[in-house]
Amino acid sequence: QGTGKYLPADIDPDLCTHVIYGFAVLDGDQMIIKPHDTWADFDNKFYEKVTALKKRGVKVSLAIGGWNDSAGGKYSKLVNSAQNRQRFTEHVLNFLLEHNFDGLDLDWEYPKCWQVNCNMGPESDKEAFAAWVRELHAAFQPHGLLLSAAVSPSKTVIDAGYDVPVMSELLDWIAVMAYDYHGQWDKRTGHVAPMYAHPEDDDVTFNTNFTIHYWASQ
């Protein structure tokens, strides 16, 4: 609504090779993917309108998660149970094919460090998330579906939550969320997406240069 609204018709497919539709969410009871907004996704046919960009040569993936959907322990409950992972994988495969998506983007924020609080999740989240990636990859390969992930720029979260070698091997790409390094929670002004460290930074790792080099070094 308003002058800033952005609709599927506003997407210029000549500007990109891939479009990620955000978000779908996790049904914490059934442990399956579900639409976040059926009014937009189905009633207004946003799924259909965005996947129509495939006719222009663009790949369209569906993202699951996001900041709000990562609250609480439902993703941890999903990945730490082999039965739940299998149920999710079987369902999401059919969901993606039914709605004509080219793949799935994982945006759980974050394994072990739920909404950046690394005291919230169990240590097992790290290996369980890697197991989830392995199983999704195996299920997607016969269908040619893409698998990607949006990940934290924080060294603390990377160390606690990600098996980087497994992810690097099996994901089609990893999108590092190199923004929100600073915000109103700091109570002082800082660059939201700094390329390099500032002399007055409290944490010299909170910048894109460190983040990308650290991810690559793992």
Dist CA 90 CA 17 (whole Å):
27
pLDDT digit string, tens, across residues 164-200: 999 999 999 999 999 999 999 998 899 999 999 999 9
Residue 78 has pLDDT above 90, yes or no: yes
Amino acid 61: pLDDT: 99
Q: What is the mean pLDDT of residues 74-91?
A: 99
Residue 211 has pLDDT above 90, yes or no: yes
Amino acid 45: pLDDT: 98
CB burial string 37-63: b at 16+ within 10 A, e below:
eeeebeeeebbeebbebeeeebbbbbb
> 36 CB contacts (<8 Å, ≥6 apart)?
23, 24, 25, 69
Neighbours of 113 (CB within 10 A): 24
pLDDT digit string, tens, across residues 126-166: 999 999 999 999 999 999 999 999 999 999 999 999 999 99
For the annotated catalytic residues, the residue numbers are 109
Q: What is the mean pLDDT of residues 55-79?
A: 99
Mean pLDDT of the chain: 97
Q: Would the pTM of this model clear 0.85, i.e. be above it? A: yes
Q: In this structure, what are the phi and psi dihedrals at residue 206, rounded to the nearest 5 degrees?
A: -90, 70
Domains of the chain: 8-177 (3.20.20.80)
Amino acid 2: pLDDT: 85
Amino acid 83: pLDDT: 99
Residue 1 has pLDDT above 80, yes or no: no
Q: In this structure, what are the phi and psi dihedrals at residue 84, rounded to the nearest 5 degrees?
A: -65, -40
